[in-house]
Amino acid sequence: MKTKENWIAETLETLDGVQRVDVSFSVKEAIKSNFNQNKTSSITAVQKWTIAASIIVLLGVNLVSMVHYSKNQSTETAYSSDTKNVVYNEYFSTDY
């Protein structure tokens, strides 16, 4: 345990020699000017229509898959529900 405490102490001692670095006035002003610039970006009409089309395609694919899934669920027989219950019964059975 001493080695871990020594390692922690050595790590903390490395911060003792840290000194503040002086930055020139021109560098400070350049940084400030970069923060103060108002960069506004707007999207073009083509980009708006592309986004709208991709959303419509995504919604369409989701709708088709939901319809397909609901049709498969309604046509399933009692056999599939029994197989689902087998996993539940095996996992949660109290018979040992």
pLDDT along the chain (96 residues), means of 10: 84 86 89 76 91 97 88 60 64 64
Cα–Cα distance for residue pair 86/80, rounded to 1 Å:
10
Distance CA 89, CA 83 (A): 10
Q: Give pLDDT tens digits for 73-96.
A: 666 554 455 566 666 666 666 665
Residue type, 39: K
Write b or e for each residue in 2-22: b if 16 or more Cβ atoms lie within 10 A of its Cβ, otherwise e: eeeeeeeeeeeeeeeeeeeee
Spell out the residues 6+ positions from residue 43 whose beta carbon is closer than 8 angstroms to its own.
51
Q: How far apart are CA 25 and CA 44, in angstroms?
A: 39
pTM: predicted TM-score of the whole model, two decimal places: 0.39
